[in-house]
Amino acid sequence: MSKETKKRWLRPVISGLLVILILLGLQRLLVPKYMGDTPIEGAMIGEYYDTPKLHDVIFLGDCEVYENISPVDLWRDYGISSYVRGSAQQLTWQSYYLLEDTLRYETPKAVVFNVQALKTEETESEAYNRMTLDGMAWSLSKVKAIQASMGEDESMVEYVFPLLRFHSRYSELTKEDFTYFFHRDVISYAGYYMRVDVKAAGSFPEPRRLSSPSLPENTMEYLDKMRILCKNNGVELILMKAPSLYPHWYEEWDAQIEAYAAQYGLAYYNFLDVTGEIGLDYSMDTYDGGLHLNLSGAQKLAEYFGDLLVSRHHLPDRRGEATYQDYWKEQETHYDEGRNKLIEELKKNEKE
Amino acid sequence: MSFTSYGFIGIICLLTVVYYLIPKQFQWWLLLIASYALYLRAGHGYVYFLLATTIITYLSGVGMKSTRFSKNSQKAVFVLGLLMDLGLLIVMKYTNFLVENLNGILSALHATGRISYFDLILPLGISFYTFMAIGYLMDVRGEKYEPQSNPFRLALFLSFFPAISQGPISRYDELSKTLYGNHTFAWERMKEALLRILWGYFKKLVIADRVAVGLQTMVAAPGDYRGGYVVLAMIFFALQLYADFTGGIDITIGIAKLFGVELVENFDAPYASKSVKEYWRRWHMTMGTWFRDYLMYPLLRAGWMEKIREGVKKKWGKKASKRFTTNLATIIVWLATGIWHGASWNRVLWGLLNCFFIVASVECEPIYSRLDEKTGYRKRKWYPVLAIARTLVVMSVLRMFECFPKAGETLMLLGSLFTTWNYGEVCTIGWLSLGLSKVDYVILAVGVMIVWTVSLCKARGITMKVVSKRSYGLSLGLVMALVIMVLVFGTYGHGYDASAFIYNQF
């Protein structure tokens, strides 16, 4: 190849790379960082990829999972190594594809799916889609998750190149966007979103009459796909309903899930039925009036659920195993620091 | 498929790669297939009309040159082809306008019956490809060139996808030079094409679609936005129309250039015109020259016009007869231009008002000349600026008939300029109540400055072609700047409903 030919081809290639580099930089700057100014739930799905894949239990679901289940407490109390793969308004099919995605990295002994999301048959918000899907690592599962989740005005290209979606954030950039240009803080505790404040449960609107007693067909199909996927991978699927008082969980739905679980020999725990046994006090154990538990509530739930997982599902106690100890020691430190910081902030706010 | 959709951009990238990989003799076939595939995607029903026009034009073109036909038969074939092409356009575009007016007459006569509207679709780009077909037939008839013997080649001429939805209205002899050629990949041409496309997207997405948000607010509730808001509407519409249409044409010309096809320019700094007549020589030039060559000149040469000319000549002399027939032809041309832009009385009025300013300017020219002889005002430094400003104001007022759909409403709004004194409110809080933020206004201002600077450079001969040839670093810098500006400051994507190109509706 002559020098002139080389130059003719090299110039556009280098120029193209330069353009790509600048665009990648802009993309990094403009995408939401989910570190405080923007809802932090958006950062949680992505954090999974930075952890050692040493989990015996994976929890799947929406806020009822990531705000109620505390893996660090499950570890401390029972030596259960677990992780929550949950995000805001996480839809059933998103949980399914997150399960597919998780199985690319590890094969847990059990997967716990929170059934509340089964009631939602359609994508409700692009912003929630983004918080779940943007954090997923690229794989066929992510592509399928996007395809299944996209609303009418969404486009696959905008998921591939988030700059196209978030370009107009140039007018809302904050210090956070520059601070977290190169790195992100770890904001969850093995997928758990910690809150230490208290807001006692109040009254909720009367539940509306159901137009249909059954849960939507499409979400039940994804539940079935989840069951088959678990079965094919030798993973036990456990169903749970978190002890969140609202949105209302109807008896008809509960009966349907019970019947489904019985049909396939799955365990189903509706924690709303055993709040007394768990020891939940909704005047103290919730931070938003009964929708989600605070740390005190999550610790009680972990103690109760951990016992079930050990006694009925024979999950091993890993506390004596060196490979797990390092990982969980780090998690415990992060958890304690986070809790102390939140308590300090709470005290400071109360004083003010 | 819109020029601004991700899918379209993806298809163009793919087509460009395939175009230069396949044997050169198949390149125009690929363009034909792509043109029809994209046209089908726009709507299945549209394609029958495009096919019909193509078949009629092909048969008429070949027929009128066939030695098997007598001279009279050849003329009949030409007239028939012309009437059928035009008939399709008239039926599809103006039938319901006719029904609307007939119902209006019935209502005025207090008659009980009403004519039902027809369920007609307006095929995409029908006004453009019909004009191209008519131009082709008239040129063949006038022996400007031989008819195309390959129907598929003619089909490509009429359906070439970058230009079908908003022009330019190409002439067969010009377009055919590069449309069917065997093209080799050339970096220089690609660079030039890319710059042109990006420049088009900049105008469309950064300026036109941004200003459209504010304009739509006012158009949706004209009763709420009078007085000073009408001035804003004039400015907004002037910006939107220019950026949208010239941006669309830039993208069209750029895409054609990717395939080595050269399309004619459609604009020549129209907002720098010193008169309405000059404006129309610089705006949508291919439409202007089409009306001139295929309507104005044939009208002036028509037998009945000759008779009128003779009649006027006998009464008022030769000079007056020439002026009379020219003005008569101008009125007919502007009636046609108005109705071509849209089937509504608003458009007819708009056309006639444009005509009025053009004819008045021509008729008053002797007065202006005498005044200039006495005062020399045309030689003053400020005169060109004043003339440009005057034309901008006149055109902005006339464009209100394009912007608002009803003639009565438009007149009411123009009247409110003098009756509703809310200019203070518009300048303080009103301008921020139209859906545009301060940041939007800053981006618009910078965008307009950039467009203006580029126009000045172009006037001094510094075109994109020159830039892309002379300095690699500068053209790279321009590409990067345009990519970044379009991607970051463009009005597109989730949460935006990008307006379709305004001229797509014709």
Residue B495 is predicted with a pLDDT of: 62
pLDDT for B33: 96
Q: Which fold has domain A31-351?
A: Rossmann fold (3.40.50)
Omega before residue A247 within 30° of 0, cis: yes
Task: For A152, name the nearest residue in chain B, comparing CA atoms only.
Answer: B494
Q: Are B64 and B77 in contact (CB under 8 A)?
A: yes
Q: Report CB contact under 8 Å: B493, A167.
A: yes
Which of A7, A126, A166, A171 to mutate: most B Cβ within 10 Å? A171
Judge: B487–A163 Cβ closer than 8 Å, yes or no: yes
Q: Which residues of A are less than 8 Å from B496 in CB distance?
A: 168
Residues across chain B? 506
> How far is the C-alpha of A24 from the C-alpha of A254, rounded, in Å?
47
Percent of chain B clearing pLDDT 90 (strictly above): 47
Residue of B nearest to A15 (CA): B476
Per-residue pLDDT band at B498 (split at 50, 70, 90): very low
CA distance B447 to chain A (A): 16
On chain A, the residues whose CB falls within 8 A of the CB of B495 are 153, 168
Q: What average pLDDT does this structure show over B274-298?
A: 92
Task: Compare all CA atoms of chain B with the CA of A20 and give the residue at the minimum distance.
Answer: B480
Q: Three-class SS of residue A236?
A: strand
Please report where in the chains the tokens 């003329």 appear, as a residue: B75
Range B189-220 burial, b when 16+ CB lie within 10 A, else e: bbbbbbbbbbbbbbbbbbbbbbbbbbbbbbbe
Q: Which residue of A has its CA nearest to B442?
A: A171
Long-range (24+ apart) CB contacts under 8 A made by B179-184 are: B179/B28, B179/B31, B179/B261, B180/B28, B180/B153, B180/B156, B181/B27, B181/B28, B181/B260, B182/B24, B182/B25, B182/B27, B183/B19, B183/B20, B183/B24, B183/B27, B183/B259, B183/B260, B184/B20, B184/B24, B184/B260
**Per-residue pLDDT at B506 exceeds 60:** no
CB contact (8 A) between residue B494 and residue A126 = yes
Which residues on A lie below 8 Å from B493 (Cβ)? 155, 158, 164-165, 167-168
Q: Is the peptide bond before A71 cis (omega within 30 degrees of 0)?
A: no
Task: State the DSSP code for B59.
Answer: H
Q: Which of B187, B476, B487 sits opposite A23 (nearest CB)?
A: B487
Residues of A in contact with B489 (CB under 8 A): 167, 170
Helices within B180-293 (DSSP H only): 187-201, 209-220, 228-258, 276-282, 285-291
Residue A155: list chain B partners with CB under 8 A.
6, 493-494
What's the confidence (pLDDT) of residue B224?
86
Per the rule left: phi > 0, alpha: psi between -120 and 50, beta: everything else, A279 is: left
| A111, containing H or E segment | strand A110-114
Residues of B in contact with A164 (CB under 8 A): 6, 487, 492-493
Nearest-Cα distance to chain A for B488, in Å, is 5
Instruction: Return d(Cα B288, Cα A168) in angstroms, integer.
Output: 39
Task: State mean pLDDT over A245-255.
Answer: 92
Q: What is the pLDDT of residues A107-118, one digit of tens each?
A: 999 999 999 999
Mean pLDDT, residues B107-125: 84
In chain B, the residue whose alpha carbon lies closest to the alpha carbon of A7 is B472
The span from the CA of A25 to the CA of B220, in Å, is 39
Residues of A in contact with B480 (CB under 8 A): 18-19, 22
Q: What stretches of B357-497 adopt beta strand conformation (E)?
A: none
Residue B473 has pLDDT above 80, yes or no: no
Greatest alpha-carbon pair distance for chain A in Å reads 82
Tell me how close the Cα of B483 comes to any Cα of chain A, in angstroms. Answer: 8
**Nearest CA to CA, how far is B98 from chain A (Å)?**
38
Query: Using 50, 70 and 90 to split pLDDT, how confident is the model at B122?
Result: confident
**CB distance A164–B492 less than 8 Å?**
yes
Chain A contact for B479 (CB, 8 A cutoff): yes
Tens of pLDDT, residue by residue over B380-421, are 888 889 999 999 999 999 888 888 878 788 888 899 989 888
- What is the model's pLDDT at position B123? 85
Residues with Cβ < 8 Å from A70, sequence gap 6 or more? Answer: A189, A192, A194, A295, A298, A299, A301, A302
CB-CB under 8 Å, A168 with B484: no
How is residue B223 annotated by DSSP? G
CB A119 within 8 A of CB A30: no
SS3 (DSSP) at B376? coil
Q: Could you read off the pLDDT of B14-61 as tens digits, one per residue?
A: 999 999 999 999 999 999 999 999 999 887 788 999 999 999 999 999
In chain B, which among 100-119 make CB contacts under 8 A with chain A? none
What pLDDT does residue B505 have? 52
DSSP states along B408-439? HHHHHHHHHHHH---HHHHHHTGGGSSS--HH
- Is A171–B439 a contact, with Cβ atoms under 8 angstroms apart? yes
Residue position matching structure tokens 């805001």? A88
Q: For B185-244, what is each residue's pLDDT tens digit?
A: 988 888 889 989 999 999 999 999 999 999 999 988 888 888 889 999 999 999 999 999
Contact A19 B480 (CB under 8 A): yes
DSSP letter (8 states) at residue A57: E
Q: What is the mean predicted confidence (pLDDT) over B356-382?
A: 88
Nearest by CB to B493, from A8, A12, A158: name it: A158
- Indicate the average pLDDT of chain A: 92
Instruction: Work out the minimum CA distance from A151 to partner chain B, whole angstroms.
Output: 10
- Chain A residues touching residue B439 (CB < 8 angstroms): 171
Average pLDDT along chain B: 88
Pick among A164, A165, A169 to test the B interface (most B CBs inside 10 A): A164
Q: How many CB atoms lie within 10 A of CB B136?
A: 28
Q: Where are the domains of chain B?
A: 6-185, 265-403
pLDDT tens, A52-81?
999 999 999 999 999 999 999 999 999 999
pLDDT score at B441: 94
Strands lying side by side in the sheet with A110-114: A82-86, A57-61, A110-114, A236-241, A267-270
d(CA A221, CA B275): 69
Ranges assigned E (strand) in B114-180: none
The interface pTM score, or ipTM, of the predicted complex is 0.80
SS (H, E, C) A289-323: CCCCECHHHHHHHHHHHHHHHHHCCCCCCCCCCHH
What confidence score (pLDDT) does residue A136 get?
Answer: 96
> A149 vs chain B: nearest CA distance in angstroms?
15
* Contact: B484, A26; criterion CB under 8 Å: yes
Q: Does position B502 have pLDDT exceeding 70, yes or no?
A: no
Residues on chain A touching B187 (C-beta within 8 angstroms):
8, 12
Which two structure tokens, joined as six digits, stand for A258?
Answer: 């019970």
Ordered by start, the domain boundaries in chain A are 31-351
* Cα nearest neighbour of A24 on chain B: B484
What integer pLDDT is reported at residue B119 of this predicted model? 82
Find out whether A104 and A138 touch, Cβ atoms under 8 Å. Answer: no
Q: Which of B474, B349, B339, B477 is nearest to B410 (CA)?
A: B349
B145 part of contact set with chain A, CB < 8 Å: no
| B281, burial (CB in 10 Å: exposed 0-12, middle 13-18, buried 19+) | middle
Reading phi first (left if > 0) and then psi (alpha if -120 to 50, else beta), residue B317 is in left
Dihedral-angle region of residue A201 (phi above 0 means left; psi in -120 to 50 means alpha; beta otherwise):
beta
Asked if B439 is an interface residue toward chain A (Cβ–Cβ < 8 A), one would say: yes
Q: Which tens digits make up the pLDDT trace of B238-266?
A: 999 999 999 999 999 999 999 999 999 99
- B487/chain A closest Cα distance in angstroms: 7
The count of other CB atoms within 10 Å of the CB of residue A23 is: 17
Task: Name which of A11, A12, A158 is nearest B494 (Cβ-Cβ).
Answer: A158
Mean local confidence (pLDDT), A145-168: 91
Q: Which of residues 181-210 of B touch A (CB under 8 A)?
A: 187
B-chain CB neighbours of A18 within 8 Å are 476, 480
Q: Give the per-residue pLDDT at A157.
A: 92
